Amino acid sequence: MDAPGNISWGITATALVLLMTPGVAFFYGGLVKAKSVVSMMMMSFGSIGLVAVLWILFGFSMSAAESPTAFAGNPFADFGLGSLAAGEGSNVALLGVAYGATFAIITVALISGAIADRAKFGSWLIFAGVFATVGYFPIAAWVWGGGWVMNLGTTLFGEDSGIAVIDYAGGTAVHINAGAAALALALVLGKRIGFQKGILKPHNVPLTLLGAALLWFGWFGFNAGAEWLAEDMGGVGLIGLNTLGATAASILGWILVERIKDGKPTSVGAASGAVAGLVAITPACANLTPGWSLLLGALAGVLCALAVELKFRLGFDDSLDVVGIHLVGGLLGTIYLGFFATETGLFVGGDARQLAVQVIAALGVLIYAFIIAFAIGWVIQKTIGFRITNEDEIAGVDSVVHGEEGYALVDA
């Protein structure tokens, strides 16, 4: 794993995943009002700055659980990572830290889409720091660091069962986590002024398409990046193909729904379909044959296109469809493995045990993330305030909060 080729792919994958958060900024930025684009993008860049620092100081230490019953690792076990940097094999270890940081960053950044047009930046940063600490870092320990999710199959069915929760790149830790937290914050902050179907349109569609393209580009590092730790990197081909195929099929599924429902397929729908497919294939990229991956992508496009309408039916203002895309897509991809995971899925030679552990892990992360995010958001709202005033929302978050405008519409 310390061969030059592996190290090169490791740093490349880290850069690719880091680029995904600016991709989120562009994707979200194009979807909001013109007078909110700076605010929207700043929440992503603020997440990069804050979460990366916290991960290096103590987040990485928290992401390794000492036992399946531990809540998280000791944050002070190697505060600031001085011991890791001085140890044998520090080159590989520190690159692994950097790679893990990019996952923490984008998980927090994704949540911001649910509260577009109406959140204070300072309050968002407080939420981001606290949620990363008690939300993402422990869940990462559960899923990848030896915690209860990682050991669920052994706990329920014994060491010889061969059953373990499959979440290769973050269906639970990233997407279900972010989607559940987004739902919680949308409920805490309430609806935007004038919230109803069709009234709030994207201000810059090309910006959104650019963001989706950057996300798709970076997602190859997101899904296949961890293979740099494998001796032969033997899974890269399947992971890369599935990342391409499921995403492409999801675009078709989404625009088909639009064509049937509204009469016209849209570019924003195609971009959203791409992201939905990427979300769904994230946990499953290494454990599906290409055909089952295509089916997953198509289902993700259809189901997520239908799910984004739920906010109008149920009355919660998830501004940029984080719930409909990331929560629903993450649940779909995680649970789908219970049916179609190679060798262990219910319909491909396995039994119901794989499905059982996938469902338990998904629901456990969902419930925890929702409760934690709601509690943090509620406390911030009741103390220093999380939502801007109605007057400031009308005036525009960019000028009120940041003193900037996204576009100079008049020559100086």
What are the helix (H) ranges across 147-266? 152-157, 177-189, 205-224, 236-262
What average pLDDT is seen over the chain? Answer: 95
pLDDT in tens, 358-385: 999 999 999 999 999 999 999 999 999 9
Can you say whether residue 349 is alpha, beta or left, with left for phi > 0 and alpha for psi between -120 and 50 degrees? left
What mean pLDDT do residues 242-257 have?
98
> Which range is least confidently modeled, 90-94, 133-137, 181-185?
90-94
- Residue 313 · residue 159 · CB < 8 Å: no
Separation of alpha carbons 226 and 242, rounded Å: 15
Residue 200, pLDDT score:
77
Separation of alpha carbons 259 and 39, rounded Å: 33
Report field, pTM of the whole predicted structure over 0.85: yes
Q: Which helix (H) or strand (E) holds 383?
A: helix 352-383
Q: Count of CB atoms within 10 A of residue 262's CB?
A: 10
With a pLDDT cut of 70, the percent of the chain lying above it is: 98
Residue 197, pLDDT score:
80
Angle, vertex CA 111, rays to CA 383 and CA 242, nearest 5: 165
Residue of 400, 408, 407, 410 lying closest to 204 (CA atoms): 407
Which residue segments constitute the domains of the chain, with CATH numbers given?
4-402 (1.10.3430.10)
Separation of alpha carbons 123 and 388, rounded Å: 10
Hey, what are 76's tokens? 């002070």
Q: How confident is the model at residue 246 (pLDDT cuts 50, 70, 90)?
A: very high
Q: Which residues pair with 387 in a beta bridge?
A: 119
Residue 257, pLDDT score:
98
What mean pLDDT do residues 199-220 have?
95
pLDDT in tens, 318-357: 999 999 999 999 999 999 999 999 999 999 999 999 999 9
Residue 1, pLDDT score:
56
Distance of CA 25 to the CA centre of its chain: 13
Hey, what are 308's tokens? 């984004």
Residue 2 has pLDDT above 90, yes or no: no
Residue 412 has pLDDT above 50, yes or no: no
Q: Count of CB atoms within 10 A of residue 350's CB?
A: 19
Place of tokens 């990046």: 225
Residue type, 197: K
- Residue 260 · residue 305 · CB < 8 Å: no
